[in-house]
Amino acid sequence: MLRDALRFAAGFAAGILLWWYGTPLYGRAIAATIRPFTHGQVAAVARQIEVGGASLPPTRIPFDQLTYNVVLFLALLATVRGRSAGRFAAAVAVLVASHIVFTAVDIVATYANQLGQWSNEHFNGLEQDFWMALDFSYRLGGMFAIAFACWFVVARPKI
Amino acid sequence: MRRVRFLAIFIGSLVVLETLLLVEPIDAHMIRPFSAGVAAVAGAVLGLLGEHVRTTGTMISGGCLAIDIHNGCNGVEVMLFVAAAILAFPASWRQRSIAAIAGAVLLQVANLIRVVSLYLIGCHRPAWFDTFHLAVWQSAMFALAVGYFLVWSRQARPVHAA
């Protein structure tokens, strides 16, 4: 138990470092993935993603706030012994895919709710509520549930 | 199969519980009063630590900082996370009820430490506030929640259908 706790703490610290120093590079990779779907109107700048161009008003989203579930994932992963490479790769793929999807969701939620008149002209009330709820659920607990589920796939704990 | 069932119930329960947080009457009559309670207790603790603060509803205001306690800072979301995991685990209802209540108490104590420490960080090390507010404390709260669930689930006696 103590050894697991120490491994968990070490993984947590590694996760914080990876999140802090890796976010700018990771943000560029995620922005490049999303860019084709936004007609080239997405770019990563430091810890944020800038969106805007010919057809979209400029805005920024705090990309680093969408990815810090990697801290919990690495902390949990550090406690797993005898990892299967296949399950590990699948878990990482799901985690990265969730970052891509929820970065896109956060961009749409920002346009739907935070640009005043522009938002009201382009999204109806139901759409605004939907995108806000999806974004809110991810940020509030969903991102950690995804990290937990990814760890669960790798660790296969006894139930 | 049991693992798939656990994950399905966990994720399904969490989606339902988090959706309830978005329902306006629940927010107005349960979540905001609860957040005000968290603010009042945190304000009292800060007072004991020598900070001159005033609490008004969900706000804690002092000379150097004002913080608003709402979803994400009141510990409710992490309590729901643990509740969903406990609900998904095949233990008896008695075991699950006790675990959920004990977990809620543990997480609220941790959340109180989070709120108090964030106020102090905001006052004395404002440059660190965002990082601690988001990545460090939020991850630590969920790490505690997962740790609590894993320790409990190792000791709980699973009840499996024949």
Picking from B62, B65, B57, the residue whose alpha carbon sits closest to that of residue B34 is B57
Q: Is residue B107 within 8 Å of B141, Cβ to Cβ?
A: yes
Interchain CB contact of B45 with A (< 8 Å): no
Q: Quick one: pLDDT at residue B82?
A: 96
Q: Using an 8 Å Cβ cutoff, are B106 and B151 in contact?
A: no
Structure ipTM = 0.85
DSSP B19-48: HHHTSHHHIIIIIHHHHHHHHHHHHHHHHH
Which candidate from A16, A137, A145 shows the least CB-CB separation from B135?
A16
Cβ separation of A16 and B139 shorter than 8 Å? yes
What is the arithmetic mean of pLDDT over B114-129? Answer: 93
Q: Do B131 and A141 touch (CB under 8 A)?
A: no
Q: What angle do CA B103, A11, A148 make, to 5 degrees?
A: 50
Rounded CA gap, B86 and B93, in Å?
10
Closest by CA position to A112, among listed A98, A100, A129, A99: A129
pLDDT at B160 over 70: no
In whole angstroms, what is the distance from residue B76 CA to residue A69 CA? Answer: 18
Q: pTM of the entire structure?
A: 0.89
Q: Which two tokens stand for residue B124?
A: 């004395």
For residue B79, the chain A residues in CB contact (below 8 A) are: none
Look-up of token digits 């309670």: B37
Residues 33-72, chain A: which have Cβ within 8 Å of B?
Answer: 64-65, 68-69, 71-72
B3, B15, B71 member nearest A159 (Cβ)? B3
Mutation target vs A (from B14, B73, B142, B151; most A CBs, 10 A cutoff) = B142
Structure tokens at A10: 């070490």
Residue A119 to residue A30: CA distance in whole angstroms: 24
Q: How are beta strands A59-61 and A48-51 bridged, if at all?
A: antiparallel
- Whether residue A19 and residue B135 make contact (CB cut-off 8 A), yes or no, is yes
* B12 and chain A in contact, CB less than 8 A: no
Give the tens place of pLDDT for each residue, B47-96: 999 999 999 999 999 988 899 998 888 999 999 999 999 999 999 999 99
pLDDT at A14: 94
pLDDT at B136: 87
For residue A40, the model assigns a pLDDT of 66
**Ranges under pLDDT 50 in chain A:** none
Mutate to test the interface with A, among B31, B70, B132, B138 (most CBs of A within 10 A): B138
Which residues on B lie below 8 Å from A15 (Cβ)?
139
